[in-house]
Amino acid sequence: MKILRYSKKYESLLFDLLAGEGPGWSVYYDSAGRERYIRALETSITYIACDDGLVWGYVRCRADDGFGIYIYDLLVRKSHRGRRIGKSLVQQVCRDFPDQRVYVMSDEDSYYEKIGYHRVGSIFSVNL
């Protein structure tokens, strides 16, 4: 397995991964979301885990100008889960930004607790 920095040449492989995940991630690949997500990828720091022309997983994050790296998306292909790919992707982010704290916007607290990360806050959705 290789972990590579994402670039546009991997776009169709990445969308293949997203589509394989099903409705939970369709906001990123349906007709309304795909172009928006392509723009988000252009302004994000994204890594893919891949081999043999297949993207096995990816992590997408943004840097807050020296005040931390925030992970927004982490996904591993269903057929490739349980091989530490998720953890390896996050570790790659940490390796490439050794002077920054790395934070995860979690949708799956049990996973991050299992791999030893600790909670430093919560996210609230603001309703006016």
**Residue 17 CB, nearest approach to ligand COA (Å):** 10
Q: Which residue in the set 69, 76, 93, 102 belongs to the binding site for ligand COA (CB under 6 A)? A: 76
Q: Which lies closer to ligand COA via its Cβ, residue 2 or residue 128?
A: 2
Q: How far is the CB of 77 from ligand COA (least distance, A)?
A: 8
Q: Is 81 an interacting residue with respect to ligand COA (CB under 6 A)?
A: yes
Q: In this complex, which beta carbon is closest to ligand COA, that of residue 123 or of residue 128?
A: 123
Beta bridge partners of 9: none
**Alpha carbon distance 123, 112 (integer Å):** 15
| Contact residue for ligand COA among 110, 122, 125, 127 (CB under 6 A) | 110
Residue at 99: amino acid letter: D
Instruction: Reduce the DSSP state of residue 123 to 3 states and report it.
Output: coil
Cβ–Cβ < 8 Å for 1, 56 = yes
User: Does the footprint of ligand COA cover residue 69 (CB under 6 A)?
Assistant: no
How many H helices and E strands in the chain? 5, 5
Cβ neighbours of residue 5 closer than 8 Å, sequence gap 6 or more: 45, 46, 47
- State which of residues 5, 39, 83, 101 lies at the interface with ligand COA (CB under 6 A): 83
Residues that bind ligand COA (CB under 6 A): 74-76, 81-87, 106-108, 110-111, 114-115
